[in-house]
Structure 1
């Protein structure tokens, strides 16, 4: 890794980005960013703002957290660790209990907001550091709009797998799905560039090892995000060169998003 004004740069990624210096486009068709760290810094700012909002409104007991975290199905919180999964929101609130909304009950926004939500300091610190390191490298090679598309598709893919096969009453938060997506995307880029991917493979290996050996970590979110990032990056870097490359890339990313929407819709139908 090479120190930069903001974040760190992979020397091979720098070389690839400079290969067509006179072009206003990146290697894979995106507009060349003047500041490759800008998007990552904005995303970091959003995550920190959400974390601070949760912190000042009660931390793990924040009502804001109840609305932002990903919960496949809602339930009635009776307090003192007791819940009721048989009643709906109206009955729950009419008896003075607290309703915890879920995606299947209409809280679809949780599929996205949960990827910008953190409670623990170490959780947000690790995720934002990873974004700070990995994000600028990918944006430098694919451009800002394409980088943002990879990030959001990875985030949605992580949430979709959590929603599809995760525990239906266990809340999930964190940008880890999107971060794993960036790892997967960088792996695809390096393989396409025929560059030794050893560095990113070490990152991926360590993080998956922690995912499956440390309790309390959502392997569904990590795996889903990784696969989403791999698929999105493959669409971008393997699209044929030429005047229709952007059209092919957009169509591919839309198709990936449509698949995720179908998975979410099928799971919602099953839960309701």
Structure 2
């Protein structure tokens, strides 16, 4: 089962996809947002589908695919969470998770354009597994408690302008990652059983392979990350956690940075695929 938001920006319809069909969730949900998760929206959506109370969404295949979680309170990101990516970045593997933030305003749909900021010279792609928080979490006792607060999983592209992220005094990670459109998310949130430890994760630029890894190569697994974050902050329903990217980005020096006209494709096993065209701002 998957949650989606379909339609033009600002007017998306909440939807549920199951067994190859897409259903209108409007009768049971105003939107797929923090309030939806906090109010037990997933359970209500499942019940409505099981009881046959949802109608198929007419013309769903022709609708724009929007950001699958509207207005998240926080977009938390983990840096260098694959040892090979840390190495290609010139760093030792971290001893504890590296945290930075993306502003929710950078999020766009999985097929929307990525717009480079004026003067961009080092825009980079980063394929990532993204965790959607479903319940409030404060100081979880152990990583074993994390699955109970996870609503589902989706795909993220942590687009990064490295000249801003790394080229400024002291380093400005978040500053280089918050430009508008620098957070393609989706296409959907998988709310069925997902094992986050064994998913293939890949990216291509203009059809050429760049990243090709598996999530089991994370230094800090998903459950550990959620537990760790809950020790320092309150995780709330609808919050997003970008869990890090594998090796194969332009920062490695092996590939050119993004330019207008490039096409980015990212896929994760069982979660679908993204595709963005890069344009100049």
Which structure dedicates a bigger proportion of its chain to helix?
1
Could you say which structure has the larger radius of gyration?
1
Taking structure 2 as the reference length, the TM-score comes to 0.30
Taking structure 1 as the reference length, the TM-score comes to 0.31
Higher relative contact order (CA 8 A, sep 6+): 2
